[in-house]
Amino acid sequence: MASIMKRSPLISSRRDLLGLAAASAAVMLAPRAFATSRQPDLRGSIDAVTYKAAPDAGDRKSRSLQKMIDDASAENVPVFLPPGVYRVSNLTLPENTRITGVPGASRIVYTGDGHLFSARDVKRIELSNIVIDGQNRWLGDDAGALVQFTGVDEVLIDNCEISGSRKHGLQLERCGGRIERSRISGAGQSGIYAVESSGLSVTGNEVFDCGNGGILIHRWKKAADDSIVSGNRIYRIKANDGGTGQNGNGINLFRADNVMVSNNHISDCAFTAIRANSASDVQINGNQCRRSGETAIYVEFEFEGAVVSGNMIDGAANGISIANFDKGGRLASVTGNVVRNLTLTGPYAHELGFGIGIAAEADTLVSGNIIEGAPRWGMQLGWGPYLRNLVVTGNVIRKAPIGCAVSVVDGAGTAVITDNVFQETAGGAVLGFAWDKKMTGELAAGASGYPQLTVERNRIS
C-alpha cells in the first residue's frame, strides 16, 4: 500500500517542470501586461493618449497630433488613435506615416482651417480603420480635397470612411498603391479623383452621394495609367455643375490607357455609369449598371482599343456607345452584354435623341448581345459618313421600333449584319439611314443596292 502511495520521481519531475514553466511565463508576461494597460490595442505603436492628443482636446492647431505623427514616422512605427473624436486640421504626413484606429470609433474631424491631410513626394503613406469627417467645412484654395496626396509612391487606404468634403473626398496625383474596403460619401465634387496614377488599385469600396462624380481616373496627357477599378459599389452620383458628360459619372476614365474596370455595381448616376473618354486599351467587363441618366457605358473620342463585355445594363437613356470615329475613336469588341429598359428622356437636348441600345462606328465587333426595350433603335451603326468595318452578328433585339439603323450616306464604309434575331421591331429590322432620316425599306434579307453592306441570314419574328 505504501508503494502505491509513493510518488513516482518521473511524475514529480514532470509536475515540477510544468510548475516552473508556468511561473516563468508569469514573470515574462508581467511587464507586457503592464505595458498593455497603457497601450491596449497596438504594441509598439505610438498612441494619442501618450502625446496628450486626446479626443476633444481642443487643440485646433493640432500640434500634439502632428508631433506624434512626426515622431512615429521617424521611429517607423504606426500611430494608434483610441476611440473618440479628434478635431484637427492642416496635418502634413511625412515619410512612412501609418495611422490606424478602431473602425467606426476613431473619428478625425476637420475644423475648417485650410486642409485636413496632405502629403507630398514621399514613398509610403498608410491610413486604416479611421473615420475622416470634413463636416462640409471650407477648404483652402490650395486644397483640392479633404485628403490630398501628391507624388506618393504607395498610398494604402484600407477600411476608412471619408465624408463631408466640399471638394473631392480623396485626391491622388502621381500616386500608386491601393484604395480598398473604404466608404467615401458626401463629396461636393468626386469621391476619388486620381490623376497621373501609376498602377493604382481601387477595389471593394463604397462611393455614394457625391456632387459631380464617383471614381475619376484621369491624366493630364494621354498615356498608360494601368489602374484597376474593381468590385466597387457606386451610387447616387449627381451632376451639380451640369454639362453634357464631364460630370455625373460613376466611373470616369480620361486619357488614361490600359485601365481595367470590372465587376462594379453602379446605380443612379446622373449621366453615365462608366465613361471612357480618350482612353485606349480599356477593359469594361462584368459590371452592373442600373438607372443611368444618359448612356450607361460610353467609350468616346480619341481611343484605340476597348473591350466591353458581359455587362448588365438595366435602365438608361442609351445602353452602350462606341463613338467619335471623327475624332479617332475606333477598334472595339462589344460582346455578351444585356441592355434593357431604356428611355427616350436624357439630361440634355441631343440632335438624334435617346433610346438606343448599342451604337458603334468603326472597326468594331458587336456580337452576342441582347437588347430589349430600346424605344428608338435597337442598334445604331455609323453616323453619316462615320462608319467603317463593323461586324454585327449573333445578337438578339426585341421590342424596338427599329431593330438596326445603318448609315448609307456617301462615304459610309463596310458593315456586315448577319445571323441576328429581331422580334417585335414594328418599323423594320434593318433599315438604311442618312443621319436621322430613313432612306430605305427593309434590308434584313439583303442590301443589293448597297455593295458596302452584307446583310443576310437574319431572322425576323
Tell me the per-residue pLDDT of 71-93, one tens digit each, with 9 for 90 and over.
999 999 999 999 999 999 999 99
Please tell me the class of the 50-460 domain: mainly beta
Please report how many Cα atoms fall inside a 13 Å half-sphere around the Cα of residue 460, on the Cβ side: 18
Residue pointed to by grid coordinates 485636413: 116
Q: Residues 415, 417, 422, 425: what is their CA dihedral angle, to the nearest 10 degrees?
A: 30
Per-residue pLDDT band for 48 (boundaries 50, 70, 90) equals low
Q: Mind listing the pLDDT tens digit for each residue in 177-193?
A: 999 999 999 999 999 99
Query: Which helix (H) or strand (E) is 34 found in, with range?
Result: helix 9-38
d(CA 283, CA 97): 34
Taking CA 273 as the corner, what is the angle to CA 322 and CA 144, rounded to the nearest 5 degrees?
110
CA distances from 234 to 275, 288, 306, 373, 457 (A): 14, 10, 22, 25, 41
| Portion of the chain with pLDDT greater than 70, in percent | 87
Compute the Cα dihedral for 429, 434, 439, 440 and give only its sign: negative
Quick one: pLDDT band at residue 53, thresholds 50, 70, 90? low
Place of cell 463593323: 390
pLDDT tens-digit map of 124-145: 999 999 999 999 999 999 999 9
- Which of residues 21 and 222 earns the better pLDDT score? 222
Of 57-66, 158-167, 316-325, 423-432, the poorest mean pLDDT is in 57-66
